[in-house]
C-alpha cells in the first residue's frame, strides 16, 4: 500500500448502513478530528489513557463500571437527537472465562418516549477489526451511523459496545457475547441516574425494556449474547432482538470470502480468534509464508475499511499461507477455539422473541446455515422467532432492505406496539419467504 491514500468506501459489507468515510494509511499517525467548535483531536484507543487496563478489574463483578467519562469532542452533535453521551469501561469475561474489560458508548436521547418505562437499544455495530482502534467508540466520530440518531429520535437510550474487547478479538463468540451482556448490565445501572436529569423525568425510577440489534458481525455478537444469557446473566432483563445477515458458521464463511471483495475479513478474523491465546497466535504465524507474513500481520493495525482495501479480492490463503485453509484451521489450539467460538446453536436457548432477516442470495454467509439454526434448532426448542428469507438481493442489500422491518419489530418490543408486517411478539415460530426492498445490486 502507498504510504498515504484516501480510502472511500461506498458500502461497508458488515455495517448497519451505507456510509462513506475517509481514512489515512495505517503507516501515518492516526487521530480523528472531531467536528466540535474547538476542532479538538480524538485520540485512538491505543493512545488514549482511558482505554488502559484499570487496577483491580479482576476483582470486580461482571458489568461493573470501572471508569467512565462524558464522550470527548462533540459526539452528541455528530450523532443527532442526543442530549448526552458517555463512555464506560466495564468488567467483562473473555473466551477463556477469565476477567477482562471492554468499553461501551451510551447515548441519551433529548426526550424519552411516552411510555412508563425506559427503552434501551443495544446496537451491535459490526466493526470486524483485529485492532482496538477499529472499534465503534472511535469510528463513530466520523459520522455515518444514522440509525443511532433515528433510535434516539424515538426516545430510546442507545448502547453501542466495543464488544471485541481490549484485545480486538474479532470472531470469538464467547467473549463477544459476554461483552454485550456486561455492557447492558453496565448501562442499565447508569440509566436511572442520567434519565432523572431529563426535563420530563418522573420522580420514580422507570423500569427498563431492553432489545438487541445487529447485522452481520453484529448479529454474531447479539446471538452469542442471547445464547449465553441464561447461563451467564440470567438476572439481566432482556425483551427481544432483531438480527440480520446472520453468520452462524465461521468456517463456512471463511470458505466463501477468500478472493472476494470481503477478503479483508479473513486476516482480521484469523488474528481476532487468536488474540486471547498466545499458543493459537503462534500456530497461526507458523502457517504463514515467511516472505509475506508481515503483510498479513499488518491487519493488526487496521480497521475494517483499511483491511478491506489492503486485501481486496486477494486469495488470502494462497498468497499468505503455506497450505490450504483446512490445514490452518486444523492446528490444535485454533481448532479448539473455533469449535468453542465458531458455531451458533450449541450454547443455550435465546429467552426472548427474535426477528431474523436474511437474503436467500447472501453470498457471505450461506442461507442454508441460517435455515438450520432457526428451523432445526431454535424453532425445535420453542424460541419465539419470526424468520424472513428475502428473495431480493444479497448480504449488503439485505442490510438496507431489512432496516424498516427490524425497526418495526424493535418498536413493538421497546414500546409495546405492533406495526407493519412483522409478526407481533408471542407469535411462536414463523418462517416465510418475502420479497421486500429495492436494493438488488450485489456487492
* Diameter over CA atoms, the chain: 66
- Write the CB contacts of 278 (distance below 8 Å, at least 6 apart in sequence): none
| Active-site choice (34, 362, 384, 406) | 362
| Active-site choice (183, 395, 397, 412) | 395
Rounded to an integer, what distance in angstroms lies between the CA atom of residue 234 and that of residue 398? 32
The candidate with the shortest Cα–Cα distance to 158, out of 125, 196, 115, is 125
338 three-state secondary structure: helix
H/E run at residue 104: strand 99-109
Residue pair 279/333 in contact (Cβ under 8 Å)? The answer is: yes
C-alpha separations of 297 from 84, 281, 285, 292, 308 in Å: 38, 11, 9, 9, 14
Rounded to an integer, what distance in angstroms lies between the CA atom of residue 386 and that of residue 420? 13
| Active-site choice (166, 175, 216, 222) | 216
What the block records as the C-alpha cell of 100 is 477482562
- Write the CB contacts of 234 (distance below 8 Å, at least 6 apart in sequence): none
Active site residue 362: yes
Active site residue 128: no
Residue pair 160/136 in contact (Cβ under 8 Å)? The answer is: yes
H/E run at residue 413: helix 403-415
Task: Cite the active site residues.
Answer: 216, 362, 395
Amino acid at each position: 500500500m502507498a504510504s498515504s491514500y484516501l480510502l472511500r468506501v461506498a458500502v461497508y459489507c458488515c455495517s448497519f448502513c451505507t456510509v462513506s468515510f475517509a481514512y489515512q494509511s495505517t503507516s501515518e499517525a492516526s487521530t480523528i478530528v472531531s467536528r466540535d467548535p474547538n476542532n479538538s483531536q480524538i485520540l485512538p484507543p491505543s493512545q488514549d489513557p482511558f482505554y488502559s487496563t484499570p487496577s483491580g478489574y479482576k476483582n470486580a463483578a461482571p458489568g461493573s463500571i470501572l471508569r467512565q467519562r462524558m464522550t470527548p469532542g462533540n459526539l452528541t452533535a455528530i450523532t443527532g437527537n442526543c442530549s448526552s453521551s458517555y463512555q464506560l469501561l466495564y468488567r467483562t469475561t473473555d473466551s477463556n472465562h477469565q476477567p477482562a474489560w471492554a468499553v461501551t458508548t451510551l447515548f441519551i436521547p433529548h426526550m424519552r418516549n411516552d411510555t412508563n418505562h425506559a427503552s434501551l437499544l443495544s446496537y451491535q455495530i459490526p466493526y470486524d477489526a483485529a485492532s482496538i482502534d477499529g472499534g465503534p467508540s472511535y469510528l463513530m466520530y466520523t459520522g455515518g451511523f444514522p440509525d443511532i440518531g433515528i433510535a434516539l429520535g424515538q426516545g430510546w437510550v442507545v448502547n453501542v459496545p466495543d464488544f471485541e474487547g481490549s484485545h480486538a478479538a474479532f470472531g470469538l463468540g464467547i467473549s463477544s457475547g459476554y461483552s454485550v451482556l456486561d455492557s447492558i448490565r453496565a448501562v442499565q445501572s447508569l440509566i436511572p441516574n442520567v434519565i432523572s436529569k431529563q426535563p420530563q423525568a418522573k420522580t420514580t425510577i422507570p423500569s427498563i425494556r431492553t432489545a438487541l440489534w445487529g447485522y452481520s458481525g453484529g448479529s454474531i455478537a447479539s446471538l452469542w449474547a442471547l445464547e449465553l444469557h441464561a447461563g451467564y446473566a440470567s438476572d439481566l432483563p432482556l425483551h427481544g432482538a432483531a438480527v440480520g445477515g446472520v453468520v452462524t458458521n465461521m468456517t463456512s464463511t471463511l470458505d466463501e470470502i477468500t478472493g472476494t471483495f470481503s477478503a479483508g475479513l479473513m486476516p482480521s478474523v484469523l488474528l481476532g480468534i487468536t488474540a486471547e491465546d498466545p499458543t493459537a497466535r503462534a500456530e497461526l504465524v507458523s502457517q504463514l509464508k515467511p516472505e509475506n507474513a508481515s503483510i498479513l500481520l499488518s491487519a493488526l493495525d487496521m480497521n475494517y475499511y483499511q483491511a478491506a482495501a489492503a486485501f481486496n479480492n486477494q486469495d488470502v490463503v494462497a498468497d499468505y499461507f503455506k497450505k490450504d485453509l483446512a490445514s490452518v484451521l486444523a492446528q490444535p489450539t485454533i481448532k479448539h477455539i473455533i469449535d468453542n467460538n465458531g458455531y451458533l446453536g450449541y450454547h443455550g436457548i435465546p429467552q426472548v422473541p427474535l426477528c431474523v432477516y436474511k437474503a436467500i442470495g447472501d453470498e457471505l454467509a450461506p442461507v442454508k446455515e441460517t435455515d438450520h439454526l432457526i428451523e432445526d434448532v431454535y424453532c425445535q426448542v420453542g424460541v419465539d422467532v419470526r424468520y424472513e428469507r428475502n428473495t431480493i438481493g444479497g448480504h449488503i442489500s439485505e442490510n438496507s432492505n431489512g432496516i424498516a422491518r427490524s425497526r418495526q419489530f424493535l418498536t413493538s418490543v421497546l414500546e409495546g406496539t405492533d406495526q407493519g408486517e412483522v409478526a407481533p411478539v408471542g407469535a411462536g415460530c414463523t418462517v416465510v419467504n418475502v420479497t421486500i426492498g429495492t436494493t438488488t445490486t450485489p456487492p
